[in-house]
Structure 1
């Protein structure tokens, strides 16, 4: 998770690991700059709440809200019946969570209570993506992507087309969304017609994460250890980044020419997109590294 710090104009990145720790990295110095936050359970996702707070989703079935300065837990959100796999901020007082229990819960951060539960998926919810203030997308191990009306909690669209789990989502614009799957493809969907308008083929294993670079360029990370850069207009892969030694689990755009990737090889890598070159590596000596970010 990318954090901008006013102090010395630092650019900070937050990473979470299956060993239950959250660390903050200075992208300039490559050093960890905080006392690691320890949730003591596997972490599957991080979500920035504001400049001082971060939410974590874990294997203990709960969501925790952390104070970044003091590394202490401020709130605990309890209600899911299995691992919490993904988080998405709706607004400054509302967050959504997806779980292996097949549900999506909407939480009021002021009262710490679940205000709505969305049901409809038939298996684990893998990723969430806010479309606008009233619509949320979700994808699942049931091979489907669903669009939800947050006002009434109803599923208003279901996209079917992937041949295996749908693992990740990325909004392209207000009428287009991308989905990545264990079937190794990325599909681009028209939100109005519910139809797949393009399939991106190139990865040879599961697509684990997606990140929009600009309005016509998409990055994807895969279990095949590569990051691919795609031209969304023509569907071609224009660059492939090689250096990770295990699955690429997450991506975060730093600026229009730099992207960060987190991998199960216990590293975070910073890439120059123009040169298609790794320019910096942060190494952890334990746990499967996962970095998740919000600009």
Structure 2
């Protein structure tokens, strides 16, 4: 993407700041964030930062493309305050898209979630039946439904991206998130500092871990191609948590054993396994993940060696 004016909501957060910094190399980028999970320290000098909430009036939506990543982005955040979760994730989405529409922007790329697929070891395609078991998942499904409305009623292009377990190490935009940081960053920091990573149950739950740089490329391609509909962003390969800790130990030359603890999340809402079928995104844009998991682990561990 080049020579565009772009808004990234949640733009000072983990994925948002990575996206904003990449796009700012060739575009005019505004990063909007309320500071809950993000900090302007994550942003390069070439990014314009606006401190505001997506539920505010008069958002800077006079742009060519909106990347809407702002959200309460986990089960725990929503269960603490379901009303706030719906306000930020649903009302904030509708408010941002509608202001963009009124300002003449017809292209929106937004964050959905792969959690709605439930627990699956087989790759999950976008057209499979999905279920909603948490407020977080409900809010993301509501986004997808409102996106369909905006497309059908106003002819906007809205691409909902279902992310699969996005990761990066500490030292970057994840550090500010603390307990809400991705598990790869948390595990690596624990092992590097001689602490036992806490694994739920037997640690054999699996995730399709996707490096943030691949997610960012997918988002950019979705905006470039003005995609419409729902698209997965994931690698199609999964690793269990015990294996992840072993790989981190191998990379760091350590021998820190994990601690197995009871899962605090109820079994009927905990997603045990995930795996992406990203063929739709591949066919639409040519997107392929470029960082395999072994390379991703090396990148995560570099700061400790």
What TM-score, normalized to structure 1? 0.28
Choose between structure 1 and 2 for higher RCO, CA contacts under 8 A separated by at least 6 residues: 2
- Larger radius of gyration, structure 1 or 2? 2
Please state which structure has a larger fraction of its residues in strand.
1
What TM-score, normalized to structure 2? 0.28
Please state which structure has a larger fraction of its residues in helix.
2
